[in-house]
Amino acid sequence: MSHETIYRSLFIQARGVLKKELLEHLRARRTIRRSRHASMKRSGLGQIKDAISISERPATVEDRAVPGHWEGDLIGGSKNSYVATLVERHSRYVMLIKVANKDTESVVSALIKQSQKLPGELYQSLTWDRGKELADHQRLTLATDVEVYFCDPRSPWQRGSNENTNRLLRQYLPRGTDLSLHSQAKLSAIARQLNERPRKTLLYQTPAEKFAECVAAIG
């Protein structure tokens, strides 16, 4: 018997809502069970026009040898508030971007504005999930020359550096809080704290130090 069969049985018996005495035994503690496929349909996953698959991403991006390739995502808060998170794959350098809304116009415009703060050599590609907030990815590429690649559906591990960073960010931006209350200056200060943490994967350099080396190299 599969775990899915067990879940369905429990939810059906409780008319779609788990009884309180059963809830405490669930890892995720969800009270309502929805079909994974229904959730995908509602969110529009896999429906981005002209999306370039991560499978077409060059090997130089995959092996992290060359700087300038980023992973990105949105983290959400209460009251429809969102922050865009970017992580550079080579250095693990983090940037946080205040966005007005989750719609693609707001997100792409914010990413374009942020790109203007970086040398072109250090912003060559961006790997994102299949969220509709990047549906207008072609406008981003036209404005910045940044190639946009999309992960396979339900494969967040393909943006591993970004996923790990998002978990760290929840220390500063807890779930359920209003992220719109944070100014861009505050978000930049949070990113600075993350960038000044030594990382074992960088031989205990900080992302800030590693990224500074990249900037100096193209100087």
CATH number at residue 162: 3.30.420.10
Nearest to 66 by CA among 127, 126, 121: 121
For residue 158, being part of any structural domain is answered with yes
What's the gap between Cα 30 and its chain centre?
Answer: 22
Q: Is residue 167 part of a domain?
A: yes
Residue 73 and residue 162 in one domain: yes
Q: How far apart are CA 35 and CA 41, in angstroms?
A: 10
Q: How far apart are alpha carbons 52 and 54 in whole angstroms?
A: 7
Is residue 128 domain-shared with residue 197, that is, in the same domain? yes
CA angle 63, 66, 68 (to 5 degrees): 115
Per-residue burial over 35-68, b if 16 or more Cβ lie within 10 Å, else e, is eeeeeeeeeeeeebeebbebeebeeebeeeebbb
Answer whether residue 49 is part of any domain. Answer: no
Q: Are both 71 and 144 inside the same structural domain? A: yes
| Alpha-carbon distances, residue 96 vs 13, 28, 172 (angstroms) | 44, 27, 12
**Could you tell me if residue 213 is inside a domain?**
yes
H helix intervals, the chain: 3-13, 20-23, 36-43, 59-62, 104-115, 137-144, 160-169, 184-195, 207-218
Residue 103 lies in a domain: yes
Q: Is residue 43 part of a domain?
A: no
Q: What is the pLDDT along the chain (219 residues), one digit of tens a residue?
A: 555 556 555 544 544 444 555 655 554 444 444 444 433 333 344 579 999 999 999 998 999 999 999 999 999 999 999 999 999 999 999 999 999 999 999 999 999 999 999 999 999 999 999 999 999 999 999 999 999 999 998 898 999 999 999 999 999 999 999 999 999 999 999 999 999 999 999 999 999 999 999 999 987
Q: How far apart are CA 24 and CA 18, in angstroms?
A: 10
Alpha carbon separation from 67 to 18, 81, 169 (Å, rounded): 48, 30, 22
* Count of the separate structural domains present in the chain: 2
> How high is the pLDDT of residue 52?
95
Domain that holds residue 86: 54-218
Same domain, 209 and 124: yes
Residues 155 and 211 in one domain: yes
Q: How confident is the model at residue 27, as a pLDDT?
A: 47
Q: Kindly state the helix (H) or strand (E) to which residue 93 belongs, with its residue range.
A: none
Cα first-last separation, the chain:
60
| 182 in the same domain as 86 | yes
Residue 170: CA count within 13 A, CB half-sphere: 11
Let me know whether 21 and 105 are in one domain: no
DSSP summary character for residue 121: G
Structure tokens at 38: 């229904």
Examine the domain organization and report whether 93 and 188 are in the same domain.
Answer: yes
Contact 74/135 with Cβ under 8 angstroms?
Answer: no
Q: How many residues does the chain have?
A: 219
> Are 85 and 178 part of one and the same domain?
yes
95 with 173, same domain: the answer is yes
